[in-house]
A and B are shown apart, each in its own frame.
Chain A
Amino acid sequence: MRMSKIVRTAADILYPAILIFGLYIVAHGHLTPGGGFQGGAVIATGGALVIVAYNYKEVTGWLKKNVLTGQEVSGLVGFIGVGLLALAFGQVFFFNYLVGSGSIFGMPVPYGINPGELNTAGIVPLMNFAVGIEVWGGLTVVILYMLSGLEKEGC
């Protein structure tokens, strides 16, 4: 069952904007309110908008269950992998080995009043990305399985 053309067009226009806003919340998780879970939940809201606006066959052409489940698994594995990688550097579990190293996310935090340097905080943004990808897949696949049960009923 599809909704009206107005709802479908609004969902088409709003979905990229919601996606970009959620990725912004994930990427700025160590500077502003939000983080991996909140950003992933915002992206899943955009997915729920598309799922409610279109019917099941069209939606499964765009949002595949295998891809979403793979996102969930890879996010969890990435989170643990980032933590376990500290053992390879001879440190304890979840040691922040990237901070102050000068590589990606490794710049020192500037002093004084500043708008916030994105390239700081070490492994915290990487863990935010992992949690964001995981929550994105997990919460979207919940809605998708609800809709698949609906299609089996045939209404």
Chain B
Amino acid sequence: MIEQIPQILVLLGLIVSAVLTFHFKDLLAATLAAGLFSFLISLEFYILQAPDVAISQAAIGAGLTTAIFIIAIRATKRFEGEGS
């Protein structure tokens, strides 16, 4: 039971970051929450002894996808429901 505590904490953090991604109207904050979700799921992959998948998830999910979203937000509006 004691060795499952970090796993439970990571899963709770996953749920919280997913709800925050849905909840934020500031799209930059929502992108950072999605990046936190990717980082936590890579930590979960590492706990489940798949370090190969964890490296891919940390590089692509937390790094490249967040960068692409930030560039897209720079080109459009920052807040949801703004304009048009």
Contacts and interface: CB of A to CB of B under 8 A. Distances in A.
Interface of A: 1, 25, 33-35, 37-38, 41-42, 44-45, 48-49, 51-52, 139, 142-143, 146-147, 149-150, 153, 155
B52 A41 contact: no
Interface in B48-72: 51-52, 55-56, 59-60, 63-64, 67-68, 70-72
Chain B binding surface, main DSSP class: helix
Contacts of A37: 56
Interface of B: 51-52, 55-56, 59-60, 63-64, 67-68, 70-72, 74-75
Given A150-B71, A155-B75, A45 B64 contact: yes
Contacts of A38: 52, 55-56, 59
A1 B63 CA distance: 20
Given A45-B63, A48-B64, A146 B52 contact: no
B67 A52 contact: yes
A44 B55 CA distance: 13
B67 A48 contact: yes
A41 B67 contact: no
A153 B59 CA distance: 28
A146 B60 contact: no
